[in-house]
Amino acid sequence: MSVESLKCKECGTSYELDASYVCENCFGPLEVAYDFSGLDAAEVKRRIQAGSQGIWRYRDFLPFEGRASDPLEPGFTPLLKADRLAERLGVGAEIWIKNDAANPTHSFKDRVVAVAVAKAKELGFETVACASTGNLANAVAAHAAAAGLDSYVFVPANLEEQKLLATGVYGTNLVGVRGNYDDVNRLCTQLAETHPWAFVNVNLRPYYAEGSKTLAYETVEQLGWKLPDRVVSPIASGSLFTKLGRGFQEWLDIGLVEGVQPVFNGAQAEGCSPVATAFAEGWEVCKPQRPETIAKSLAIGDPADGPYAVEQARRTGGGVDSVTDQEIREGIKLLAETTGIFTETAGGVTVGVLRKLAERGELADGERVVVYITGEGLKTLDATRDTFQMHEIDPALESFEAEFPQEVAV
């Protein structure tokens, strides 16, 4: 099997495959290391195509030696060609929407949590936990329920009501912390030291993060085993953004796909843009910010993978942009009106940045752009409130015709 060890991304020190996430020598993040040298590309491709209709079809690239158990398998979400969106943006590029709201709990977080919960079970944990901006809370509560594990879910207390309701329903211990996400994250880092729990994005983070690679694999497969020319992805901690790059690179390395890494464009909300700021200023580290944005799922002021996200945007000739709350609302509406996909605020951020790239003339004719929509609009309803008007009428023909005189039947 190909999974080998945990390895420090900064200094390269190797560790056992257990519940740890920090290098003891330099405090750098640990990442799962594999040995793919024994893999035959044609054989792997056949195995993938004969696999399940979800993320476990990519088991050769996930951190398990045996079969991982998962009663709530995410993945294989639709990739749609969005010609009407391209037309509205006035570009000749091919725009594709990867709608990852079509997962069991309606966000891409199902991918990372499925991997983390399977690993938690394998390592013998009885309780899973997380620090969340909302989508992760939904996913951890649901996957824990499906797997029969206890769960503790920590969120900022002022989260959107929809995200609280869609967490509590699974019977988790829902803890609203009076503070922002970075406060929640610090608290969970401390709790992880004293409680024998699998915090999916703390002590299990190296495994958890691997789940995001499946979004890259699916994109390649759904494009007919081809790489996109460019990707536009939201950035919160920077983990998804960097793991997309790792996913593409692994398949390039073993010869499952040919070409070069896509150009990476990251998307942040202006009210929480530590990565966009670091990119613009030419910094190698991100200066933490206090978030103030309607895009709460992206409101991480101190992004763990920020430096790597900046580096990836630079290396691929891309960038990291930010958009205002108003541009986020417009982005949600633009996507809905041209594709029929209703996304949450994070998707509004991503579409907002796509629009900026189009307006700046950065999208070339014929270029294939994949836009990652990571969450569902029904979870952030406030962002669409008062953006349109309902016509209220009596149940009578005259009443309808009075409201819509241009539609009077002749």
Partner 1 sequence: MSVTVKIPTQLRAATGGEAALEVEGNTVGEVLDAVFDAHNGLKDRITQDGDLRRFVNVYVSGEDIRFQQGLETSINDGDEVTILPAVAGG
Burial class of residue 50 (count of CB atoms within 10 Å of its CB; 0-12, 13-18, 19+):
exposed
Q: Reduce the secondary structure of 161-213 to three states and give it as a string.
A: HHHHHHHHCCCCEEEEECCCHHHHHHHHHHHHHHCCCEECCCCCHHHHHHCCH
The count of other CB atoms within 10 Å of the CB of residue 318 is: 23
Q: How far is the CB of 304 from partner 1 (least distance, A)?
A: 5
Among 1, 26, 397, 408, binds partner 1 (CB under 8 A): 26
Closest CA to 147 of 63, 64, 71: 71
Question: Binders of partner 1 among 264-303, rule CB under 8 A?
Answer: 284-285, 287-288, 290, 300, 302-303
Binding mask 300-319 for partner 1 (x = CB under 8 A): x-xxxx-x------------
Q: How far is the CB of 27 from partner 1 (least distance, A)?
A: 5
Q: How far is the CB of 236 from partner 1 (least distance, A)?
A: 6
Q: How far is the CB of 12 from partner 1 (least distance, A)?
A: 15
Cα angle 350, 351, 352; round to 5: 90
Q: How far is the CB of 64 from partner 1 (least distance, A)?
A: 22
24 near partner 1, judged by CB under 8 A: yes
Closest CA to 316 of 255, 229, 253: 229
Reading the block at residue 70, the tokens are: 């998962």
| Whole-angstrom distance, CA of residue 277 vs CA of residue 271 | 11
158 near partner 1, judged by CB under 8 A: no
Segment lying near partner 1 (by CB under 8 A), choices 99-107, 160-168, 180-188, 325-333: 180-188
236 near partner 1, judged by CB under 8 A: yes
202 near partner 1, judged by CB under 8 A: yes
Residues in binding contact with partner 1, number by CB under 8 A: 41
238 near partner 1, judged by CB under 8 A: yes
14 near partner 1, judged by CB under 8 A: no
Residue 234 one-letter amino acid: P
Q: How far is the CB of 404 from partner 1 (least distance, A)?
A: 48
**Ranges of H-type helices in 195-344:** 205-210, 213-222, 239-254, 274-281, 306-315, 325-339
| Whole-angstrom distance, CA of residue 203 vs CA of residue 209 | 11
Segment lying near partner 1 (by CB under 8 A), choices 26-34, 256-264, 343-351, 371-379: 26-34
Could you give the C-alpha distances from 255 to 6, 119, 244, in angstroms and in order? 24, 28, 17
Considering the complex, state which of residue 74 and residue 228 has its C-beta at the smaller distance from partner 1. Answer: 74
Please give the residue ranges that form the binding site for partner 1 (CB under 8 A).
10, 20-29, 131, 181-183, 185-186, 188-190, 192-193, 199, 201-202, 205, 236-239, 284-285, 287-288, 290, 300, 302-305, 307
